[in-house]
């Protein structure tokens, strides 16, 4: 029996729709849903503050507001703290719980926990990117991008930026790599952390103390680092942070280290993890201030090695790994109040769960079930987290620290989703490469009549060390294809996360064979198991590595497919190395540089098989994608056109590796759905 395994209250919210009233889920529905994130418990544990993203589709933008909700009153309604038009992120409670701090207009602001007009905390000439309150609430740590030789003289950096903007000559000179990263060109600045004193009114005053001085790196890291890589000691005398201070090697190194800096600026930062040449991250100090927990990889220059959990005795310097036999990769680390338990979240067999780990014994226990945890926080005796699944978008959930007493707190998007019928889904497994068990998901429209055949969207995830798991994705969401009348098949091939480190590592130097074998066997298994899949009307789609795989199967496994869709995918693995920004990724994936391991780059290079391409393909490319640069997409389109294969290029000049603007997202989905329909015919054929 084909059953949805949803945990979310969203299932109940979106259920009970009569057949006559039901309508399909659309791309515009997806683009306009409210998105909750950043749940933070108040000091007394009675309220949760959170960030809610709301889209303005007509304006093609989205803004974030900060809200609170009582946890003790089951009938409480959310309270919006920020006024309309005041976009704010990163809600954090004051130490007394009487106000909430946040970032808005590139500065830190404060608003009373009961609401009211926000007041400005920082008035710096430069943008604040992240912040953290000291334990006693009298100081504010901020991350600000400065020119290293300007340091704590913010006016110096501002003057230089203004002079560069006014300069008539547009040329930029570089003498080392990371000339561009993700979607921005480098300008010579580094994100550094500074400590500001707060006056009696809670406003930043006085000269900033430069705590990360002398380190040639960004704190937090670019482009997605946040305050999870920064931690205060409970007594406020020390600050711990992760930084990759490797100078000119930055583009091919993942050697992040944990540093300790004196909060009074009296000493240079001390490297605590110098002995580990791999990635150290996420410092978190125990409540008694004696132990430092952090995450660490063991393989240098690898971004997808297992993050193990380590604890350092801050008095003796002794380090030990917690739960070394737990074959999962840890994410955020939070201590329980008594310091006996560490909580973390991790991919796990197609889910993303919270786990409780006993510090003394290393015993690991999952405390959430199926679904995808998108952020969590701990109080004295309870936790709060955002939970989504294939069955619906995220809601806030609270539970006891052992996972019991689960209660869903919110009903986001209930009005927007009223009358919308989402598809049902099932996880399945099969024997893949090396006879390993491989998992996948199938999603289909609800209420499909027996014997009815559905065209198929075969989705291939990116990363490649990622997962098409049980989550409600805002770019590759199977429900949009289900809403258009398609069934969806997704395979977590070798290289995917959440199935053990050996499974993840199996893709290294094997981009084109082991994952392809899993995809082929998964497709065969799905067709055998689900009789509603029409194997004669199927298209394969993927982004990033998934786009690479689309180009690879175009020449190596094109028999099943009526069409292909490649979003920001690689055409030429060798050329990719010489134009991408994070060189450690391509070097680790291919076993070295192209001049060291040319055979690996060429063995699985899609460009070498263009002569076998025959299937119609749509190419999507972002103009600001510096991860998989523009020429890879144009090259794919050139090859298709020159060979006379029906093809289209959808180009977004202002988008990066992702399509983020609401109207662009809808255009993307509508173009892709039109392409699928063109080659598979009307969806839902009997």
Q: What is the CATH number of domain 46-161+173-408?
A: 2.120.10.30
The whole-angstrom distance between residue 263's C-alpha and the CA centroid of its chain comes to: 31
Three-state secondary structure call for residue 152: coil
Which is nearest to 185 in space by CA: 575, 656, 547, 568? 656
pLDDT at position 654 over 60: yes
Domain ranges of the chain: 46-161+173-408, 423-680
Q: How far apart are CA 329 and CA 321, in angstroms?
A: 13
pLDDT band at 20 (very low <50, low <70, confident <90, very high): very low
Q: Which residues in 289-359 belong to E strands, given as ranges?
A: 291-296, 308-313, 319-322, 333-335, 341-348, 351-358
Q: How far apart are CA 330 and CA 129, in angstroms?
A: 25
Q: What is the pLDDT of residues 607-620, one digit of tens each?
A: 999 999 999 999 99
The one catalytic residue in 568, 657, 665, 669 is: 657
Burial 522-541 (b: 16+ CB within 10 A, else e): bbebbbeebebbbeebbbbb
Three-state secondary structure call for residue 253: coil
Three-state secondary structure call for residue 556: helix
pLDDT at position 571 over 70: yes
pTM of the predicted protein model: 0.95
- Give me the helices (H) in 167-298, please: none
Q: Which fold has domain 423-680?
A: Rossmann fold (3.40.50)
In DSSP terms, which residues pair with 566 in a beta bridge?
542, 619
Q: What integer pLDDT is reported at residue 223 of this predicted model?
A: 94
Phi and psi, residue 13, nearest 5°: -65, -40
Q: Which residues in 300-402 belong to E strands, given as ranges?
A: 308-313, 319-322, 333-335, 341-348, 351-358, 364-366, 372-378, 382-389, 392-400
pLDDT at position 174 over 60: yes
Q: What integer pLDDT is reported at residue 684 of this predicted model?
A: 53
Q: What is the pLDDT of residues 349-362, one digit of tens each?
A: 999 999 999 999 99
More confident residue, 9 or 483: 483
Q: Is 473 a catalytic residue?
A: no
Q: Output the six-digit token pair for 8.
A: 């979310």
Q: Is 657 a catalytic residue?
A: yes
Q: What is the pLDDT of residues 263-321, one digit of tens each?
A: 999 999 999 999 999 999 999 999 999 999 999 999 999 999 999 999 999 999 999 99
On the question of a common fold for 46-161+173-408 and 423-680, the answer reads: no
pLDDT at position 8 over 60: no
Q: Is 544 a catalytic residue?
A: yes
The one catalytic residue in 625, 647, 665, 669 is: 625
pLDDT band at 19 (very low <50, low <70, confident <90, very high): very low
Mean pLDDT of 222-246: 97
Q: How far apart are CA 113 and CA 121, in angstroms?
A: 15
Which is nearest to 276 in space by CA: 248, 250, 295? 295
The one catalytic residue in 467, 544, 647, 665 is: 544
Q: Output the six-digit token pair for 157.
A: 């950096």
Phi and psi, residue 630, nearest 5°: -50, -40
CB 41 within 8 A of CB 59: no
pLDDT at position 588 over 60: yes
Sheet bearing 79-80, strands edge to edge:
35-41, 47-56, 61-70, 79-80
Strand 190-198 with 184-185, pairing: unpaired
Q: What integer pLDDT is reported at residue 665 of this predicted model?
A: 98
Q: What integer pLDDT is reported at residue 74 of this predicted model?
A: 86
Exposure of 612 by Cβ count < 10 A (0-12 exposed, 13-18 middle, 19+ buried)? exposed
DSSP element (H, E) containing 270 = strand 270-271
Task: For 486-500, give the DSSP string.
Answer: -EEEEEE-TT-SSS-
Whose structure tokens read 């050697």? Answer: 255
CB 259 within 8 A of CB 270: yes
672: DSSP letter? H
Mean pLDDT of 57-79: 94
């Amino acid at each position: 029996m084909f059953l949805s395994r949803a945990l979310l209250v969203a299932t109940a919210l979106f259920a009970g729709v009569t057949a006559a009233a039901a309508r399909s889920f659309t791309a515009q529905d997806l683009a306009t849903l409210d998105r909750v994130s950043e749940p933070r418990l108040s000091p007394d544990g009675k309220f949760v503050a959170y960030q809610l993203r709301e889209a303005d589709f007509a304006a093609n933008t989205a803004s974030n507001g900060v809200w609170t909700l009582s946890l003790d009153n089951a009938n409480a309604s959310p309270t919006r703290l920020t006024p309309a038009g005041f976009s704010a992120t990163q809600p954090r409670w004051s130490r007394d719980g009487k106000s909430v701090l946040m970032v808005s207009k590139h500065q830190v602001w404060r608003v009373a926990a009961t609401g009211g007009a926000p007041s400005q905390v920082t008035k710096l000439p430069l943008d604040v990117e992240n912040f953290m309150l000291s334990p006693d609430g009298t100081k504010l740590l901020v991350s600000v991008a400065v020119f290293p030789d300007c340091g704590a003289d913010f006016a110096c950096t501002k003057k230089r930026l203004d002079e560069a903007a006014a300069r008539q000559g547009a040329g930029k000179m570089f003498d080392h790599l990371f000339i561009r990263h993700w979607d921005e060109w480098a300008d010579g600045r580094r994100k550094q952390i500074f400590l500001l004193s707060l006056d009696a009114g809670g406003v930043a005053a006085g000269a900033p103390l430069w705590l990360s001085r002398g380190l040639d790196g960004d704190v937090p890291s670019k482009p997605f680092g946040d305050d999870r890589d920064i931690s205060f000691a409970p007594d406020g005398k020390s600050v711990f942070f992760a930084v990759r201070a490797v100078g000119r090697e930055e583009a091919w190194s993942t050697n992040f280290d944990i540093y300790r800096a004196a909060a009074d600026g009296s000493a240079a930062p001390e490297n605590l993890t110098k002995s580990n040449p791999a990635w150290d991250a996420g410092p978190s100090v125990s409540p008694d201030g004696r132990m430092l927990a952090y995450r660490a990889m063991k393989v240098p220059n690898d971004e997808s090695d297992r993050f193990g959990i380590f604890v350092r005795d801050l008095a003796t310097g002794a380090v030990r790994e917690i739960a070394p036999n737990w074959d999962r990769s840890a994410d955020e680390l939070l201590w329980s109040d008594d310091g006996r338990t560490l909580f973390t979240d991790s991919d796990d067999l197609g889910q993303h769960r919270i786990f409780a780990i006993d510090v003394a014994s290393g015993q690991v226990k999952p405390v959430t079930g199926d679904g995808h945890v998108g952020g969590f926080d701990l109080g004295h005796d309870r936790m709060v987290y955002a939970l989504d699944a294939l069955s619906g978008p995220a809601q806030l959930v609270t539970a006891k620290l052992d996972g019991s007493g689960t209660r869903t707190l919110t009903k986001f998007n209930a009005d927007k989703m009223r009358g919308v019928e989402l598809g049902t889904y099932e996880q399945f497994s099969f024997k893949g490469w090396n006879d390993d068990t491989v998992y996948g998901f199938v999603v289909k429209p609800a209420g499909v009549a027996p014997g009815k055949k559905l065209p198929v969207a075969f989705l291939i995830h990116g990363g490649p060390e990622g997962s098409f798991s049980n989550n409600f994705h805002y770019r590759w969401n199977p429900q949009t294809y289900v809403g258009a009348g398609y069934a969806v098949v997704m395979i977590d091939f070798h290289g995917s996360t959440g199935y053990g480190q050996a499974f993840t590592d199996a893709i290294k130097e094997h981009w084109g064979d082991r994952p392809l074998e899993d995809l082929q066997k998964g497709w065969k298994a799905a067709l055998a198991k689900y009789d509603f899949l029409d194997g004669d009307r199927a298209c394969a789609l993927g982004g990033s590595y998934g786009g690479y795989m689309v180009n690879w199967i175009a020449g190596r496994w094109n028999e099943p497919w009526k069409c292909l869709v490649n979003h920001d995918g690689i055409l030429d693995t060798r050329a990719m190395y010489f134009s991408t920004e994070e060189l450690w990724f391509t070097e680790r994936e291919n076993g070295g540089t192209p001049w060291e391991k040319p055979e690996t780059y060429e063995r699985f290079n899609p460009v070498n098989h263009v002569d076998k391409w025959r299937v119609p393909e749509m190419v999507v490319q972002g103009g600001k994608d510096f991860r998989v640069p523009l020429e890879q997409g144009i090259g794919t389109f050139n090859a298709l056109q020159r060979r006379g294969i029906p093809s289209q290029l959808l180009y977004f000049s202002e988008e990066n590796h992702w399509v983020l603007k609401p109207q662009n997202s809808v255009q993307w989905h509508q173009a892709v759905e039109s392409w699928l329909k063109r080659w598979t015919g009307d969806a839902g054929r009997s």
